[in-house]
Amino acid sequence: MHYRELGRTGWKVSEISFGAWAIGGSWGETDDAESLGALHRALDLGVNFIDTADVYGDGRSERLIARLRKERRETVYVATKAGRRLSPHTADGYNAANLARFIEDSLRNLETDCLDLVQLHCPPTEVYYRPEVFGALDDLVRAGKIRHYGVSVEKVEEALKAIEYPGVQTVQIIFNAFRHRPAELFFPEARRRQVGVLARVPLASGLLSGRMSRASAFAADDHRNFNRSGQAFDRGETFSGVDFETGLQAVEELRSAAPEGVSLASFCLRWILMFDAVACAIPGAKRAAQAEENVAAGGLPPLTTEQMRKVRDVYDRYIRQQVHARW
Ligand SMILES: NC(=O)c1ccc[n+]([C@@H]2O[C@H](COP(=O)([O-])OP(=O)(O)OC[C@H]3O[C@@H](n4cnc5c(N)ncnc54)[C@H](OP(=O)(O)O)[C@@H]3O)[C@@H](O)[C@H]2O)c1
């Protein structure tokens, strides 16, 4: 495992880390023992950073991580999120009182007295134009409730706006072989300001593992079934906003770029690590074997110029038109 600086936090985080949404909920049924097995395996392999949120399974994901931490001695940084408990989910809801309340819930779920990192959870764009929200987060740092804060964004423009606030340490954004735009404007600016970038949805919800087909079926409570066209939350969070059929065609072409014996999942994660503005990718994993395959990406050699060109070419031909202007 290799480690990278996370912005100005002073932390060195595993370049392949762990996304803990699926083990909480909205991805079909999961088994807590199996989820814990995936988390343990990830830590065995050097993962030291986990991304979660208060709403993942209504605290289930956070509580699993609390259990994990009790069973392990290593330092594990845990990034959680706040804001999505709001209903309706409005900019006005992002106020000091609500944020303090959400953070108390996460402190309880994670069984700690100070949260490592709290991210605003894809708030409405208007929130980025309200300095008082970031002031409230500064107050929570001063009060010792949170160590650092950051944002999870939908759009590149939100990311660029958010990092104007000096307290913002991290930006979590969708970045993968099907989502290239963050590398254009945002990455150079994030580097300049020493803001840590967390690449989320790195496997396009599993599509980039190359294991899906037209016959793949998803349970009714899996967002890959119920959010395909953005019925529940931003469409970009499901298959990275790519229409499933187009995604499958693009994946077929991508396969030829991955070297013999290297899985498409590992190859696509290694592609993300080619961008040094990225502190880590946070692939979700429900099982130990998935965590292993994902971590293996860190051990691969850098992609060749030809492989980079191929990924870009597939993006340009199949994906760009569907996603580039939207996020
Ligand atoms: N708004 C936000 O802030 C937000 C939104 C989305 C995600 N996130 C964060 O980003 C993390 C990662 O994104 P994500 O979980 O949405 O998507 P992802 O990492 O692109 O895909 C994860 C899913 O792909 C499948 N998978 C993982 N590794 C695999 C492998 N090696 N081989 C085959 N299939 C594999 C698993 O599902 P199956 O086995 O069921 O196929 C897994 O749940 C989340 O866990 C969460 O922490 C944040």
Q: What is the token pair recorded at 240? A: 């990275």
- 3 state DSSP class of 157: helix
What percent of the chain is helix, strand and coil (3-state, nearest 5)? 45, 15, 40
Mean of pLDDT over the chain: 97
pLDDT for 243 equals: 96
The H-assigned helical ranges of 89-236 are: 96-110, 131-142, 156-162, 186-192, 223-226
Averaged pLDDT, 298-303: 97
- 3 state DSSP class of 90: coil
For residue range 233-262, what is the model confidence (pLDDT) as tens digits?
999 999 999 999 999 999 999 999 999 999
- Closest atom, ligand 1, to C-alpha of 222: 40
For residue range 20-33, what is the model confidence (pLDDT) as tens digits?
999 999 999 999 99
pLDDT for 323 equals: 96
Q: What is the token pair recorded at 79? A: 């990034």
Averaged pLDDT, 130-154: 98
pLDDT for 54 equals: 98
Place of tokens 């097995």: 37
pLDDT for 198 equals: 98
For residue range 221-240, what is the model confidence (pLDDT) as tens digits?
999 999 999 999 999 999 99
Q: Give Dmax (Cα) for the chain.
A: 54
- 3 state DSSP class of 40: helix
Averaged pLDDT, 194-202: 98
Q: Check if the beta carbon of residue 122 is closer than 8 Å to that of residue 91.
A: no
- Closest atom, ligand 1, to C-alpha of 20: 45
Beta bridge partners of 284: 19
Q: Check if the beta carbon of residue 175 is closer than 8 Å to that of residue 149.
A: no
For residue range 263-281, what is the model confidence (pLDDT) as tens digits?
999 999 999 999 999 999 9
Averaged pLDDT, 155-177: 98
Distance 191 CA to ligand 1 centre (A): 25
Q: Check if the beta carbon of residue 79 is closer than 8 Å to that of residue 51.
A: yes
Identify which of 26, 11, 99 has the alpha carbon closest to the alpha carbon of residue 61: 26
- Closest atom, ligand 1, to C-alpha of 266: 31
The model's confidence at residue 122, banded by pLDDT at 50, 70 and 90, is very high
Q: What is the token pair recorded at 304? A: 């060749």
% of the chain exceeding 70 in pLDDT: 100
Query: Which residue ranges have their beta carbon within 6 Å of ligand 1?
Result: 19-22, 27, 51, 81, 121-122, 152, 172, 200-206, 209, 211, 237, 265, 282-286, 290, 293-294
pLDDT for 115 equals: 98
Q: What is the token pair recorded at 14? A: 């595993």
pLDDT for 240 equals: 97
pTM exceeds 0.75 = yes
The model's confidence at residue 204, banded by pLDDT at 50, 70 and 90, is very high
The alpha carbon dihedral of 109, 114, 115, 119 has a sign of positive
Distance 49 CA to ligand 1 centre (A): 15
Query: Which amino acid is located at 161 in the chain?
Result: K
Under 8 Å CB-to-CB from 305, ≥6 apart: which residues?
A: none
Provide the CB-side half-sphere exposure for 120 (13 A, CA). 35
Q: Please state, in angstroms and rounded to a whole number, the distance separating the CA atoms of residues 324 and 182.
A: 10
Q: Check if the beta carbon of residue 320 is closer than 8 Å to that of residue 39.
A: no
Q: Please state, in angstroms and rounded to a whole number, the distance separating the CA atoms of residues 283 and 50.
A: 10
The alpha carbon dihedral of 289, 298, 198, 187 has a sign of negative
The model's confidence at residue 206, banded by pLDDT at 50, 70 and 90, is very high
pLDDT for 1 equals: 97
pLDDT for 288 equals: 98
Distance 163 CA to ligand 1 centre (A): 25
Burial of 300 (0-12, 13-18, 19+ CB in 10 A): middle
